[in-house]
Structure 1
Amino acid sequence: MARSGRLDPLTAVALALTTAAAGWAGWSGWDWYAAAHDDTAAYAAERDRVLAAGRQAVLNLNTLDHRDLARGLDTWEDSATGELREQLTEGRGEFERQIQRARTVTSAKVLAGSVTELDTRAGRAGVMIALRITVAAPKTESVRKESRMLGELTRTPDGWKLSALAQPPVGAVPPG
């Protein structure tokens, strides 16, 4: 302090910079704390997990090779839960006979996908997946078609799995 009771300019600038730095540090700390405790990031990460699981499960259930049928059907069952898994398991024998007779190879490619709903508390989610499906059979040309699938997923101890899968009616808009 100067003798006249006033701050000298250097002390005033240092005091102003110290006050600004303390204010910035306080604001940054609060912002970091709020971001670390915000549910938005966790929800977004869960949505990404649902979409990845939905894309993979729908892809799995639209891919099957008669030459490696057991593994393909095991993958179908591993991708599903609940009633859908029960239907796949119960109908497996008849389905194996049909595919072996037809000798088809079905492959799919995911074109796009989105989460249509997500309830993390209930462990339920919905996805819409656009696919290109190619079916090849002996002595015929491959058939390629594009399709949309609506899937319902349920959270299990092993992650998100399909609990229902269907094609939406033409012109249907998913909930959301």
Structure 2
Amino acid sequence: MRPTAQVLRPAARVLLALAVVFLGWAGWSLWQAYRSPLGDLGKDRDTVLRVGSAQVAALNSMDWTRPDDGLKRWQDASTGPLRDQLQREAAADRQKIVQGRTAAAASVDAAAVTSLDDRSGVARLVAAVRITLTPSGGGAPTVQRKRYEAGLARTPAGWRLQSLTVIPVSAR
């Protein structure tokens, strides 16, 4: 054997052993991260973000020609004090919706989970919402933009809104 080959073979073996050790460590670390409660917290955060955003949009959307369907969606998206309030005000809300003769279609442009307590099952979310209002008389649609802070609670049926508060826009 040439002297270069005598040096390269042991060096290649050492590099191969280091690569195997690194791959083993990386695989173990990935497995641990997957099993970690922090991984579950990330999944819960993603669920709160997705579900909360959809529910905020639902509570800002209404078809005046089908108010009962819209009021049911409001009930389905809520729990606790918010649901109680929506139930108490359902008849008055229905009357206002029909008299207003305007359809509202909301979408969440951006949202973020600001807090999540997995143990107690509560979370907070902020959302920027675009609401397109279309009057029944054929007038031009108008767009409103609002910001909300939503409180969510985990229920047996999943995450639901328990509060929804408009965040005022500062006049600077």
Q: TM-score, normalised by structure 2?
A: 0.83
Change (3 A) 1:12 1:132: closer
Partner of 1:123: 121
Equivalent residues in 2 for 1:57-136 (5 A)? 57-136=55-134
In structure 1, stretches of 5+ residues that fail to align are 1-7, 172-176
Quote how far apart the aligned CAs of 1:28 are: 3.9
3-state DSSP of counterpart to 2:115 = strand
CA distance in 1, matches of 2:136, 2:39: 50
Question: In percent, how many aligned pairs have the same letter?
Answer: 34
**Aligned structure 1 segments of 4 or more residues deviating by more than 6 angstroms:** 8-11
Equivalent residues in 2 for 1:1-176 (5 A)? 16=14, 20=18, 23-24=21-22, 26-28=24-26, 30-139=28-137, 140-171=139-170
In structure 2, stretches of 5+ residues that fail to align are 1-5
Quote how far apart the aligned CAs of 1:167 are: 0.6
Over the aligned positions, Cα root-mean-square deviation in angstroms equals 2.3
Quote how far apart the aligned CAs of 1:131 are: 0.9
Change (3 A) 1:14 1:159: same
Partner of 1:3: none
Change (3 A) 1:12 1:155: same
Number of positions where the alignment pairs a residue of Structure 1 with one of Structure 2 = 164
Contact 2:103 2:136 in 1 (8 A): no
3-state DSSP of counterpart to 1:64 = coil
3-state DSSP of counterpart to 1:163 = strand
Quote how far apart the aligned CAs of 1:94 are: 1.1
Change (3 A) 1:12 1:159: same
CA distance in 1, matches of 2:23, 2:98: 69
Quote how far apart the aligned CAs of 1:43 are: 1.1
Q: TM-score, normalised by structure 1?
A: 0.81
CA distance in 2, matches of 1:32, 1:17: 22
Change (3 A) 1:138 1:36: closer
